[in-house]
């Protein structure tokens, strides 16, 4: 998140948010851009070279220690909104990846006044949006299965309590087990221009991404009706995990989308 209203600060601050000591970073200057990372990962793991921007670590992830409450999208959305309030951000562009995309959706639905533009990478607005194999594989996931991976190594390097790694995995399982998502009517209510991005071999089904794109105003013949406010990108040869490694593609399309003026009719 970067903002004109707030003086640039060195990375690495904490804010008391809903019982959390929530870690966040501020990079650069300009229009605020909020980065929300994926499950089991960190600011660096999800966004890497796409910084500088401000990114907030969600509960139990990265440098934000866990507390005695379950992970929910409603709760993580409220945490993010409260952090923005504390640091004086009244409106921002929001870029969420995976779990972060769901948090971004929660904010856009519940707090539309906060969201100027929305970038959703690997989003699902219902449980059925992902392949069932993803949930089946996750149910069998054990902490030792991730030993030596960037997920485990980043957590061990950044977490205030590295021994909480198994607890985080169980909380993410519970989060996905209980996820029901948002109604089509709630997605239709989003007025922020939205860029939906998936990999062609993502855990998010391409049909689901197209369905979401249509609910957000896409899926029209642009040469006749004009370009809609929302956009859809399907990255070739790209999985859920490797999507955030497509740095050149992502920066080019996200930068152009965020910089495009918003028309009075909502188009870009």
In a domain, 82, yes or no: yes
Give the pLDDT of residue 4.
Answer: 29
In a domain, 265, yes or no: no
Which tokens is 237 given?
């040869």
In a domain, 110, yes or no: yes
Q: Are 66 and 160 in contact (CB under 8 A)?
A: no
Distances, alpha carbon 192 to alpha carbons 68, 101, 228, 251, in Å = 34, 14, 12, 20
Question: What is the per-residue pLDDT across 74-108, written as a single tens digit (0 to 9) for each?
Answer: 999 999 999 999 999 999 999 999 999 999 999 99
DSSP category for residue 130: B
CATH number at residue 95: 3.40.50.1820
Q: Are 73 and 135 in contact (CB under 8 A)?
A: no
Angle between helices 165-178 and 132-139 (to 10 degrees): 140
Residue numbers of the domain that contains 110? 13-259
Which tokens is 125 given?
């607005």
In a domain, 251, yes or no: yes
Instruction: Specify the pairing of strand 194-201 against strand 231-239.
Output: parallel
Give the pLDDT of residue 61.
Answer: 55
Report the domain count for the chain: 1
User: What is the full per-residue pLDDT of the chain (268 aa) written as tens digits?
Assistant: 333 233 334 457 888 998 888 888 777 777 888 989 888 777 776 776 666 433 454 555 556 666 778 889 999 999 999 999 999 999 999 999 999 999 999 999 999 999 999 999 999 999 999 999 999 999 999 999 999 998 899 889 888 889 999 999 999 999 999 999 999 999 999 999 999 999 999 999 999 999 999 999 999 999 999 999 999 999 999 999 999 999 889 989 999 999 998 866 555 5
In a domain, 267, yes or no: no
In a domain, 98, yes or no: yes
Q: Are 7 and 87 in contact (CB under 8 A)?
A: no
In a domain, 42, yes or no: yes
**DSSP state string for 51-101:** -SSEEEPPTTSTTS---SS---HHHHHHHHHHHHHHTT-SSEEEEEETHHH
In a domain, 266, yes or no: no
């Amino acid at each position: 998140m970067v903002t004109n209203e707030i003086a640039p600060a060195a990375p690495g601050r904490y804010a008391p948010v809903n019982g959390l000591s929530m870690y966040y970073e501020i990079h650069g200057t300009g229009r605020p851009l909020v980065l929300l990372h994926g499950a089991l990962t960190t600011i660096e793991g999800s966004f890497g070279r796409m910084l500088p921007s401000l990114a907030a670590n969600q509960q139990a992830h990265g440098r934000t220690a866990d507390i005695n409450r379950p992970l929910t999208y409603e709760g993580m959305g409220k945490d993010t909104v409260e952090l923005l309030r504390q640091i004086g951000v009244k409106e921002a562009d929001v870029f969420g990846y995976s779990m972060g995309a769901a948090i971004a959706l929660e904010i856009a639905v519940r707090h539309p006044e906060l969201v100027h533009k929305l970038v959703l990478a690997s989003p699902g607005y219902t449980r059925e949006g992902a392949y069932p194999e993803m949930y089946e594989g996750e149910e069998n996931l054990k902490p030792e299965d991730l030993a030596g991976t960037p997920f485990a190594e980043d957590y061990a390097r950044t977490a205030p309590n590295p021994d909480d790694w198994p607890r985080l995995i169980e909380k993410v399982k519970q989060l996905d087990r209980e996820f029901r998502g948002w109604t089509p009517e709630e997605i239709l209510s989003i007025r922020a221009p939205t860029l939906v991005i998936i990999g062609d071999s993502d855990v998010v089904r391409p049909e689901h991404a197209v369905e979401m794109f249509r609910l957000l105003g896409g899926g029209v013949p642009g040469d006749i009706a004009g370009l809609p406010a929302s956009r859809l990108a399907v990255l070739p040869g790209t999985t859920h995990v490797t999507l955030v490694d497509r740095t050149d593609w992502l920066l080019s399309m996200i930068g152009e989308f965020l910089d495009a003026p918003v028309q009075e009719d909502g188009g870009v």
